[in-house]
């Protein structure tokens, strides 16, 4: 069952294609990460899917509803945290949460409980009486994200929700989101902080220049695009190690300082064994050794680079 199904979705501004015939399928009850460099089309896609702007072409089905024909029906069932800050400057934190719940027609007694719950969950208790206008950017962002949990929803769109948050607040928010997903919520999450996507997302799509260039689980993306691992060896004395390792098949020497050498290989286990044999046969002592898998960030950069090429 898919929460979001988009087919050949596009949005153009004059000759510029902000979103270029993308296909998307987001399964229910999962966290779907939507990654891309600045200006890639993430926010425009988000605005299309949340029915804030109409598409130029294509079809969208959100929660089983034709989002082009019945946008209001879709919006009644989703939550959206936009990238740009949004707040009522004259309201206090707790009043802002309560009024937002009222706008979503949440009953007064339920609102009261939720306000208390969210003030604690988002560490807002100490600033509950402060007006939004007097908050720091990070505090305001926390209120903005917390506010969205005042109402019930089946699908939540989060457009870079952790921007402006300190590391502790960021981790707190990600864990809170994970908890909500366990309760059945589906999340569409855009970010360019790749550690977040790796920590949080079940599936990831990468968009560049308005086109989706990769979609898969973080693990599969690594399998597909990141089979290579980086082997870093620190030897005790300066030697011409590059010439010794040159004969190892499937091994690319990236860096050689004489005592530290970095190689990349998609057959890292075999290559590591060969390197250790060569070092032992040349009486070269190893001071330190590490094998690092390719990070999502490297995959992202590589996929985007290939797409640009």
Partner 1 sequence: MHEIIRLVNRNLTISLNMGFVIWQIIFPLIYIFVAGFAYTALIHQVPFGNKTLDYPAFIATGMIGFNIMNSTLISGIIIWNDRRHGMFEQILVGPFTRAQYIVSNVYTIGIIGLVSAAMITAVGYPLFFKQVEFNILTVPLVIFASITGSILFGSIASIISTRLKSSEGFNVIINTVFLFFAFVSTAFYPAQGAPPILSTAFYFNPLTYLVDVVRAGIFGYFNSLVATEMIILGVGAVILFVIATKLLSKLEM
Going by their DSSP bridges, the two strands 78-81 and 16-27 should be labelled as: unpaired
Q: Which is nearer to partner 1, 84 or 238 (CB)?
A: 84
Please count the CA atoms within 13 angstroms of the CA of 115 that sit on its side-chain side: 21
Q: Which is nearer to partner 1, 151 or 222 (CB)?
A: 151
Q: Per the structure block, which two tokens stand in for 72?
A: 């209001």
The Cβ of residue 259 has, within 10 Å, a number of other Cβ atoms equal to 14
Summarize as ranges the residues that interact with partner 1 (CB under 8 A): 47, 50-53, 72, 75-76, 78, 80, 82, 84-91, 95, 99, 102-105
Which positions ≥6 away from 143 have C-beta within 8 Å? 87, 93, 96, 97, 122, 124, 132, 135
How buried is 132 (Cβ within 10 angstroms: 0-12 exposed, 13-18 middle, 19+ buried)?
buried
CA distances from 4 to 61, 137, 157, 187 (A): 6, 31, 11, 10
Minimum separation from the CB atom of position 82 to partner 1 (A): 6
Q: Given the complex with partner 1, which of 86 and 266 has the nearer CB atom?
A: 86
Nearer to partner 1, 161 or 218 (CB): 161
Cα–Cα nearest to 188, from 144, 156, 148: 156
Following CA atoms 141, 144, 149, 152 in sequence, which dihedral angle do they give, to the nearest 10 degrees?
-150
- Residue number, 72 or 309, with CB nearest to partner 1: 72
Nearest approach, Cβ of residue 60 and partner 1 (Å): 14
Least distance from C-beta 122 to partner 1, angstroms? 17
Shortest distance, position 54 Cβ to partner 1, whole Å:
10
> Least Å distance between CB 97 and partner 1?
13
Cβ 84 to partner 1 shortest distance, Å? 5
Q: Find the shortest distance in angstroms from Cβ 185 to partner 1.
A: 17
- Return the closest-CA partner of residue 35 out of 178, 172, 201, 204: 204
Q: Do residues 156 and 185 lie in contact, with contact meaning Cβ atoms separated by under 8 Å?
A: yes
The H-or-E segment that residue 297 falls in is helix 296-308
Beta strand 31-35 with 186-191: parallel, antiparallel or unpaired? parallel
- The helix/strand count (H/E) of the chain reads as 11, 14
Q: How far is the CB of 187 from partner 1 (least distance, A)?
A: 15
Distance of CA 290 to the CA centre of its chain: 27
Element (H, E) at 129: none
User: Given the complex with partner 1, which of 11 and 222 has the nearer CB atom?
Assistant: 11
- Residue placing its CB nearer to partner 1 in the complex, 151 or 229: 151
Q: Nearer Cβ to partner 1, position 91 or 278?
A: 91
């Amino acid at each position: 069952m898919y929460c979001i199904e988009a087919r050949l979705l596009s949005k153009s501004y004059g000759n510029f294609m902000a979103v270029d015939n993308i296909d998307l399928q987001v399964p229910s009850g999962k966290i779907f990460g939507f990654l891309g460099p600045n200006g890639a089309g993430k926010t425009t896609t988000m605005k299309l899917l949340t029915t804030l702007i109409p598409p130029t072409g294509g079809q969208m089905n959100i929660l089983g509803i034709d989002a082009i024909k019945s946008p209001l029906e879709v919006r009644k069932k989703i939550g959206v945290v936009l990238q740009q800050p949004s707040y009522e400057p004259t309201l206090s934190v707790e009043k802002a949460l309560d009024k937002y719940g009222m706008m979503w027609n949440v009953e007064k007694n339920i609102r009261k409980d939720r306000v208390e719950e969210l003030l604690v969950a988002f560490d807002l208790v100490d600033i509950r009486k402060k007006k939004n206008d007097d908050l720091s950017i990070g505090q305001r962002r926390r209120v903005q994200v917390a506010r969205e949990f005042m109402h019930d929803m089946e699908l939540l769109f989060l457009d870079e929700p952790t921007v402006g948050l300190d590391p502790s607040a960021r981790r707190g928010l990600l864990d809170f989101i994970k908890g909500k997903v366990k309760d059945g919520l589906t999340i569409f999450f855009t970010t360019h902080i790749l550690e977040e996507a790796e920590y949080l997302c079940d599936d990831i799509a990468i968009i560049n220049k308005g086109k989706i260039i990769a979609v898969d689980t973080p693990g599969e993306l690594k399998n597909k695009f990141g089979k290579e691992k980086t082997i870093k060896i620190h030897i005790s004395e300066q030697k011409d190690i590059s010439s010794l390792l040159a004969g190892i098949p499937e091994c690319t020497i990236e860096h050689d300082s004489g005592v530290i050498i970095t190689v990349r290989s998609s057959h890292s286990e075999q290559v590591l064994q060969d390197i250790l044999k060569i070092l032992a046969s040349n009486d070269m002592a190893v001071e330190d050794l590490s094998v690092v898998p390719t990070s999502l960030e490297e995959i992202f950069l590589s996929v985007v680079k290939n797409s640009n090429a």
